[in-house]
Amino acid sequence: MSEDKIEKLGTPSQSDTTATPKTNKKRKVKGKNRIARWFREMRSELKKVVWPTPKQIVNNTMVALTLMACAAIVVWALDYIAGEIFLAIVTYIPMLIRGG
């Protein structure tokens, strides 16, 4: 009876042989073929891109430049205010300490 169990365990069932077919091995793409495939795929993807019109490019550029100018003004103003506060502290604190 124990020999029957060994034979049953040792032989693959029908579902085991169909689950892992050995005929579907992928061929490895090497060297130049892999690089060429990458360029073909990249070109294919770039064809799918919806490129902006020249009018949209000008509009988006103006928006970006305007926002950068506004941000620069805000940073300059905050820097100026912080500098004036620091200067006031450095100037008036020693006068208060000396009593004069």
| Rounded CA separation 25/37 (Å) | 19
Are 59 and 67 contacting, i.e. CB atoms less than 8 angstroms apart? no
Beta carbons of 24 and 16 less than 8 angstroms apart:
no
Residue 92 resides in a domain: yes
pTM of the model: 0.50
Angle, CA 96 vertex, CA 77 and CA 100 arms, to 5°:
120
Domain count of the chain? Answer: 1
Provide the domain limits for residue 76.
52-100
Q: Could you read off the pLDDT of 46-98 as tens digits, one per residue?
A: 999 999 999 999 999 999 999 999 999 999 999 999 999 999 988 888 777 87
Is 38 contained in some domain? Answer: no
Is residue 40 included in any domain, yes or no? no
The DSSP string of 60-97 is HHHHHHHHHHHHHHHHHHHHHHHHHHHHHHHHHHHHHH
